[in-house]
Structure 1
Amino acid sequence: MERLETGIHAGRLSPAEYEANFSDLHPRLDNHEALVAADRCYFCHDAPCMTACPTSIDIPLFIRQISTGNPIGSAKTIFDQNILGGMCARVCPTEELCEQACVRNTAEERPVEIGRLQRYATDAAMQAGKQFYVRAEATGKKIAVVGAGPAGLAAAHRLAVKGHSVTIYDAREKSGGLNEYGIATYKTVDDFAQAEVDYVLSIGGIEVRHGALLGREFSLADLQAQYDAVFLGIGLAGVNALRIEGENLAGVDDAVDFIAALRQAEDKSGIAIGRRVVVLGGGMTAIDAAVQAKLLGAEEVTICYRRGKEHMNASEYEQDLASSKGVIIRHWLAPKSILSQDGKVAAIEVEYTKLVEGRLVGTGETGVIAADQIFKAIGQTFEASSLGSLRMESGRIAVDTEGHTSLDGVWAGGDCVFGGEDLTVSAVAHGRDAAESIHRTLSAAAAPAVAVA
């Protein structure tokens, strides 16, 4: 094998290789494939797959609709519970949710392909321009939604369906949040995230204001004064610091920024990548960064995680995917320092770790891994300074079961709330359920008083 040039460089591959590497990971099923896949479903009455879905989609029903040649009806069943069902079909860890609970999986260790069937149906409806929902008569109520990610979009759509007027404020230039900026390119191709945003907004009654950051252009108090209700669907901010020597060297980058740059790049050949790359972390961001580093032409890509394989937040499927792409995953290694040469990254010193009475400790044994680029994927922080007196819990917004915060008229959901699962599908459920709670609250306040004799 020809050795690649040391350092961080763009254009390591041919145009054909870039195109092949960043093609659709799981292409849409064709009609015959969908019918065959649907035929494997037992259509369980008390379906465990449905219970395992955070948005409680009626999975047996939508699969039965596919099996009877009604993918459009199937899409409506999905969208009734999850208006972002198209993206969730692409990025949901179905192997840990619905497909893990599938009876076929228990019996045969091969579940029904629920995620791919969901994509088949939702793609059919979106490509046909089928809009299932009509706005109710205008209520005259105005709701502000902060964040145009999955939680905010789901809340806005459900509120618009109820007849409320919604204004979404988002700090970025595009809507979509994590779906637009934080997911591996090969999982959602052809600008699907924006196509889905357009589909959601086509209901009408939703205005989006980009470049509007809470705490900069407006305050929470401003929104409370101008709107009848507020929903906070704020995403996470920067990556946690390593707090080790060499962290600020050229070649040490945030994995989330790398993934976002790839998502926005029309020409992948313009994205520079190191010859030897180390990714620090054990979640989905680490996997996405490592796999894409390999797809960009890196010769060696190593994930270093401070605990064992069973502790990684990334699913076993995603870990296996990374391994199949040539990524090396090493466990029980914690970063100790980043070594430099001529002001640039040259290697990373790591310390072996172990658990002692449930506590992670270093063993004192160290090693060095050569690298010219290091990506940090060790979790993100939530910026709460603009939230005033809102009650927090463990650094996130505290909410009740309906998403209501400690402030009257303010709800929250998605990554910003305590107890969240950091999943797109869970964020959608938060936004949808909070919208229903907002609607009930506003409707009750508007209802005429009933005289009691």
Structure 2
Amino acid sequence: MATSRDDKKLTFRKYEEGDSKWDRWNDAIFEGDHSHKCPTYVHRTPPCQGSCPSGEDIRGWLDIVRGLETPPEGISMQEYAFRRSTDANPFPGVMGRVCPAPCQDGCNRNDVEDFVGINAVEQYIGDEAFKGGFKFEETPALTGKKVAIIGGGPAGMAAAYQLRRRGIASTIIDDHAELGGMMRYGIPNYRIPRAELDREIGRILEMGDVEFKANTRVGRDVSVEDLEKEYDAILWALGCKVGRPLPLEGWDETPNCVSAVDFLEEFNKGDMKYTANKVICVGGGDTSIDVVSVSRRIGTLKDYNENPEDAVTGKIKHGDIDPSLRKACDNVTLTALFPRDQMTAAEHEVNDAVREGVVLMNEVMPVEIIRNSDGRATALKLVDCKWENNGPVKVEGGKEYVVETDLIVAAIGQGGDMAGLEDFANERNLMDADKFYQVPNKPGHFVAGDIVRPHLLTTAIGQASIAAESIDLYLKHAEFKKRPKVDKHHFNLLDKMKEAGLDPAPYTVGETRGTNEAKFAIHNFEDRSKNEVITSDKLFLGHFEYTPRHLREEDAPDSEHVLNHFEERTKGFDDETAAAEAGRCMSCGMCFECDNCVIYCPQDAVYRVKKDEHTIGRYVATDYAKCVGCHICADVCPTGYIDMALGE
């Protein structure tokens, strides 16, 4: 049992107030047999996975990277981690860079000192797959069914991937020239390297029987009725590409008031190479950070004489620009309704933007667009605000601000473009979905991604996985069963045992009332992962020493060097650092082979299984003839893998 040498840096109390001596376990040892309870090994879902909208087996691939779970013969650690990661999410390189990582917020290690750098290890897995040229495992034979997927963003691509793994072909129809959706057209290249994005998309196409129809809009170039005749099912993964306007008088009539979606798309297509001299973006989320960071990088021209909105709307397209002709924008401002520590943008993204020279105004709300005689915005008036009754309100007696600007960008949310698809639109101009991601009252139609509810890339990927499963059941005319309470891509001990050559024997004995020795069953194990997320109060936190997080290096320029700076911002881990950071994982809900239960069992009842019978989750067993039910093994289990059960 380890104890930290740096207790002051821990975020939990090892002792109750007033404790001054160790508790004695004598009574537990000598009286414990009265309970008739003995240890059983219980698999639960860790909170990182429980917090991950795409449901990745995060603990599993961290265990692989750290060296705890060994790959099958002939597969490297890196490729095995890639396979485990991509069971849920085919974009580890992308998501490891840009996902805001709700998994890290949920990480139980926050109750020790700091979360595990899950994103950083995921980026490592994606980068190693890119360098190693890894491909997905061989796909099953086709079923003869084919699905139309409308939209080639993260939801559409993830659905095509999951469908092909089930033997179902698909055609992705998108109104852009290239696949990727918001990953390509919404996020700048210094956050997602385009070579890695292309490789992760290419892997899906390389599976075969995933076609792509570019520059095609359903409802304009092809009808829904034609798709229904040609395909066995349709998945709507349209995304949300219409930016919400600021709720200010005259917004729609003011030419230099534009949406963040349009701004970023023109930049990412390579058609906007510079912008206005003074830019103000209203937002507070990651999209608004991208707008202001792009503005600082592309700057403006020393001899700038065009209307900035013309590049945003595609009216004009910029050719190649000599970088020496650019200059930094005089002012780039980001406003947010909330305090800095409550902004929805990732904290490090906000910090980087400020370092790059962005002026950040918090707890302010726009109230008026100030225009000149030509009807163009020249400034934005803002006031101090606070959040009340689910909305911002002006602070009485607060300050008023007037920020001069040449371009106002709204980054306050996005909506769907349902033109030509009005029969599918709800009152919010999105699409309805049931719990199986079927479109209500539209048999054979399914939906996933932002068009259901604008959220994270990882949310779209998770919805696509469930939708693909639902489509498979629909095409088989199978019953739709209740979804699990914890609806994730769970580790399966039986699959792991089969992979390790430890398959249980066939069940041939007929009726039996129970056994603790027969080889046809997995003994002393309960899988509660589909019903329960394990919390830190079930762990023995005293086992874990203070271990600071390993941080990724970042190429984050300051305000003097940000102009023309398009190098990738985030630098990935090497093998050693990735393993060290993965090693900080507390393996919540799964044995990580620390030997505490073996060492501390006073009856020598808990023992390691034979090496040729060992695999992850099957490291220890109990001799119930020796066990007295003292529960010490459960008390000292760091991961909460042992419950006292099998008795009254």
Query: TM-score by structure 2 length?
Result: 0.57
Q: 2:105 aligns with which of 88, 91, 100?
A: 100
Equivalent residue runs for 1:282-431 within 5 Å? 282-296=284-298, 297-309=328-340, 312-330=343-361, 331-340=363-372, 345-355=377-387, 357-362=389-394, 366-390=400-424, 392=426, 394-406=428-440, 407-417=442-452, 420=453, 422-431=455-464
Letter in structure 1 aligned against 2:461: V
1:249 shift after superposition? 4.6
In structure 2, relative to structure 1, the CA distance for the partners of 1:383 and 1:264 (3 Å cut) is closer
Native 8 Å contact 2:365 2:392 kept in 1: no
In structure 2, relative to structure 1, the CA distance for the partners of 1:408 and 1:46 (3 Å cut) is closer
Letter in structure 2 aligned against 1:278: I
Identify the range of structure 1 (376-385 vs 279-288) with the bigger mean alpha-carbon deviation: 376-385
1:240 shift after superposition? 2.1
1:251 shift after superposition? 4.0
In the alignment, which residue of structure 2 is the partner of 1:143?
A: 147
**Structure 1 unaligned regions, length at least 5:** 1-43, 447-453
In structure 2, relative to structure 1, the CA distance for the partners of 1:108 and 1:350 (3 Å cut) is same
Equivalent residue runs for 1:204-243 within 5 Å? 204-242=208-246, 243=248
**Structure 2 unaligned regions, length at least 5:** 1-42, 68-75, 299-327, 480-648
1:184 shift after superposition? 2.7
1:320 shift after superposition? 2.7
Native 8 Å contact 2:177 2:215 kept in 1: yes
In the alignment, which residue of structure 1 is the partner of 2:465?
A: 432
What is the alpha-carbon distance in structure 2 between the residues aligned to residue 433 and residue 293 of structure 1?
38
Secondary structure of the corresponding residue to residue 227 of structure 2: helix
Identify the range of structure 1 (221-230 vs 402-411) with the bigger mean alpha-carbon deviation: 221-230
1:78 shift after superposition? 0.3
Q: 1:115 aligns with which of 103, 116, 119?
A: 119
In the alignment, which residue of structure 2 is the partner of 1:128?
A: 132
In the alignment, which residue of structure 2 is the partner of 1:450?
A: none
Identify the range of structure 1 (351-360 vs 393-402) with the bigger mean alpha-carbon deviation: 351-360
Identify the range of structure 1 (177-186 vs 120-129) with the bigger mean alpha-carbon deviation: 120-129
1:430 shift after superposition? 1.0
In the alignment, which residue of structure 2 is the partner of 1:40?
A: none
In the alignment, which residue of structure 1 is the partner of 2:195?
A: 191
Letter in structure 1 aligned against 2:417: E
Native 8 Å contact 2:136 2:207 kept in 1: no
1:261 shift after superposition? 2.5
1:81 partnered with 2:88: yes
In the alignment, which residue of structure 1 is the partner of 2:511?
A: none
1:293 shift after superposition? 1.4
In structure 2, relative to structure 1, the CA distance for the partners of 1:433 and 1:358 (3 Å cut) is closer
1:279 shift after superposition? 0.6
In structure 2, relative to structure 1, the CA distance for the partners of 1:217 and 1:190 (3 Å cut) is closer
1:247 shift after superposition? 5.6
In structure 2, relative to structure 1, the CA distance for the partners of 1:208 and 1:357 (3 Å cut) is closer
Secondary structure of the corresponding residue to residue 80 of structure 1: coil
What is the alpha-carbon distance in structure 1 between the residues aligned to residue 358 and residue 387 of structure 2?
25
Identify the range of structure 1 (387-396 vs 420-429) with the bigger mean alpha-carbon deviation: 387-396
Secondary structure of the corresponding residue to residue 176 of structure 2: coil
Secondary structure of the corresponding residue to residue 392 of structure 1: coil
Secondary structure of the corresponding residue to residue 288 of structure 1: helix
In the alignment, which residue of structure 1 is the partner of 2:172?
A: 168
1:221 shift after superposition? 2.4
Larger helix proportion, structure 1 or 2? Answer: 1
Secondary structure of the corresponding residue to residue 381 of structure 2: strand
Residues 418-450 of structure 1 deviation map (CA, whole Å, 9 limit, x = unaligned):
xx351111101111111111111212369xxxx
In structure 2, relative to structure 1, the CA distance for the partners of 1:340 and 1:285 (3 Å cut) is farther
1:256 partnered with 2:261: yes
Identify the range of structure 1 (285-294 vs 323-332) with the bigger mean alpha-carbon deviation: 323-332
Q: CA RMSD in A?
A: 2.6
1:254 shift after superposition? 2.5
1:393 shift after superposition? 5.8
Residues 69-118 of structure 1 deviation map (CA, whole Å, 9 limit, x = unaligned):
71110010001111122211111001xx1112223333113x22211111
In the alignment, which residue of structure 1 is the partner of 2:477?
A: 444
1:368 shift after superposition? 1.1
Secondary structure of the corresponding residue to residue 186 of structure 1: coil
Letter in structure 2 aligned against 1:198: G
Letter in structure 1 aligned against 2:103: C
What is the alpha-carbon distance in structure 1 between the residues aligned to residue 259 and residue 391 of structure 2?
27
Identify the range of structure 1 (435-444 vs 348-357) with the bigger mean alpha-carbon deviation: 348-357
Q: 2:249 aligns with which of 224, 231, 244?
A: 244
Native 8 Å contact 1:246 1:340 kept in 2: no
Identify the range of structure 1 (149-158 vs 186-195) with the bigger mean alpha-carbon deviation: 186-195
In the alignment, which residue of structure 2 is the partner of 1:154?
A: 158
Larger Rg: 2
Query: TM-score by structure 1 length?
Result: 0.80
Native 8 Å contact 1:391 1:405 kept in 2: no
What is the alpha-carbon distance in structure 2 between the residues aligned to residue 311 and residue 168 of structure 1?
38
What is the alpha-carbon distance in structure 2 between the residues aligned to residue 380 and residue 175 of structure 1?
20
1:64 partnered with 2:76: no
Native 8 Å contact 1:244 1:338 kept in 2: no
How many pairs align?
395
Q: Which structure's relative contact order is higher, taking Cα pairs within 8 Å and 6+ residues apart?
A: 2
1:233 shift after superposition? 0.2
Native 8 Å contact 1:308 1:332 kept in 2: no
Identify the range of structure 1 (176-185 vs 377-386) with the bigger mean alpha-carbon deviation: 377-386
1:217 shift after superposition? 0.8
In structure 2, relative to structure 1, the CA distance for the partners of 1:238 and 1:318 (3 Å cut) is same
In the alignment, which residue of structure 2 is the partner of 1:3?
A: none
Secondary structure of the corresponding residue to residue 476 of structure 2: helix
Residues 310-361 of structure 1 deviation map (CA, whole Å, 9 limit, x = unaligned):
6643233433332232222212221411333777543222344344555533
